Amino acid sequence: MRRFLRDNGLSLAMFALFVATLLGMSVAGLRVYNQEQLDHNQATVGYVEYLTTDDFIEVTFENWESEFLQMAAYVLLTVFLFQRGS
């Protein structure tokens, strides 16, 4: 197990950061979306329903455009973590 973590540390760290930021963005987005719905006297939605809205999809792709931040994180993490075969 220890060897697996060492050999795949970079991939595991980047995947964990991706999941954590996507989860955080979706929770924050749900709160903003529901507040806007209430401001316009419309029904609020649950978390799973929010994930299928145009608002979530639009915000997600806008954030993915910030590839420079992602690339900077990748470059900095490669200083400390390794990926066997790379």
pLDDT band, very low/low/confident/very high, at 75 (cuts 50, 70, 90): confident
Prediction pTM value = 0.71
Task: Indicate the SS3 state at residue 30.
Answer: helix
Count Cβ neighbours within 10 Å for each residue of 33-44 and write b for 16 or more, e otherwise: bbeeeeeeeeee
Residue 85 above 80 pLDDT?
no
Both structure tokens of 77? 């993490």
Tens of pLDDT along 13-69? 999 998 999 999 999 999 999 999 999 999 999 999 999 999 999 998 888 777 678
What confidence tens digit (pLDDT) does each residue in 41-53 have? 999 999 999 999 9
